[in-house]
């Protein structure tokens, strides 16, 4: 009777698995970079959506095991380093928001898109209010909340476009996982 050789994945299969593992984090990083591309200048506005928050929310609901807290922290920290603001602000806000989203995940997972979107509305409102409270404490003054409100409103408005994009990538790349 012929003996079967123990299974060992081919280099291509290994590479594919690595790509699948790092893909959500890579998308998070791409979202961080996209936040600093002056897209608003096309229409003469300084407003830019919070792209990393979209990635964090999406993966926290859809595949939380592929976007662990370490990835959320790293995305927030890189955003802080690039933005020139308070170090740790968005790392902290994103990790807390991620924890809140994970705790309420069962309400949104497998629900219609409208529920998914409303869930994001609450997540964005929470993240914006939390960041605003921290920054007001840091500066010891009442920071005008207008800019963060506009920032989060734009983020919620463009969220469906990015959900489509993330969904496509998830279907194409992560289907076999």
Partner 1 sequence: MDSNRTALPFREFSHRISLVFMLTLAAALLLLGRAETYVFDRARQVVTDLAAPLLEVASRPVAATRRVIERTDEYAYVFDENERLRAENARLLAWKEEALKLQAKVARYEALLNVQVDPAINYVSGRVVSDSGGPFVDTVLVNVGSDKGAESGQAVIDTDGLIGRIVSTGPKASRVLLLTDLNSRVPVIIEPAHYNAVLAGDNTAWPRLEYLAAQSAVSPGDRVVTSGDGGLIPAGLPVGLVIQTSDGGLRVQTFSDRGRLDFVRVLQYEFPSQVKRQDPPQVLKGPPVTSAPPPGPVTLPGPGTAGTNTGSNAGGASPAPTAGAQ
Which residues of the chain form contacts with partner 1 (CB under 8 A)? 33-46, 48, 64-65, 68-70, 72-73, 76-92, 95-96, 98-99, 102, 128, 131-132, 134-135, 138-139, 143-144, 146-148, 150-152
Contact present, 81 and 35 (Cβ < 8 Å):
no
| Nearer to partner 1 (CB atom), residue 51 or residue 58 | 51
C-alpha 162/C-alpha 170 separation (Å) is 12
Task: Kindly state the smallest distance separating residue 51's Cβ from partner 1, in Å.
Answer: 9
Tell me the C-alpha to C-alpha distance, in Å, between residue 71 and each of 21, 32, 120, 140: 11, 12, 19, 31
Q: Which is nearer to partner 1, 49 or 119 (CB)?
A: 49
Q: How far is the CB of 34 from partner 1 (least distance, A)?
A: 8
Which tokens sit at 124?
A: 């964005």
Closer of 82 and 115 to partner 1 (Cβ): 82
Residue 16 beta carbon to partner 1: minimum distance, rounded to whole angstroms = 22
At which residue do the structure tokens 């219609």 appear?
112
Nearer to partner 1, 115 or 137 (CB): 137
CA-wise closest residue to 102 among 121, 78, 119, 125: 119
- Measured from the CB of residue 148, what is the shortest distance to partner 1 in angstroms? 4
Angstrom distance (rounded) from CA 50 to CA 48? 7
């Amino acid at each position: 009777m012929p003996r079967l050789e123990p299974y060992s994945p081919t280099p291509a299969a290994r590479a594919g698995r690595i790509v699948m593992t790092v893909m959500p984090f890579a998308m998070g990083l791409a979202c961080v970079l996209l936040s600093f591309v002056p897209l608003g200048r096309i229409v003469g506005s300084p407003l830019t959506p919070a792209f990393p928050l979209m990635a964090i929310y999406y993966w926290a609901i859809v595949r939380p095991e592929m976007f662990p807290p370490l990835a959320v922290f790293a995305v927030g920290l890189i955003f802080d380093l690039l933005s020139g603001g308070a170090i740790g602000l968005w790392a902290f806000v994103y990790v807390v928001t991620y924890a809140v989203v994970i705790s309420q995940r069962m309400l949104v997972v497998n629900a219609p898109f409208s529920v998914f979107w409303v869930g994001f509305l609450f997540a964005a409102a929470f993240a914006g209010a939390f960041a605003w409270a921290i920054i007001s404490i840091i500066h010891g003054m009442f920071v005008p909340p207008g800019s963060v409100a506009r920032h989060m409103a734009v983020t919620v408005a463009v969220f469906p476009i990015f959900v489509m994009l993330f969904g496509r990538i998830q279907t194409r790349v992560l289907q076999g996982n």
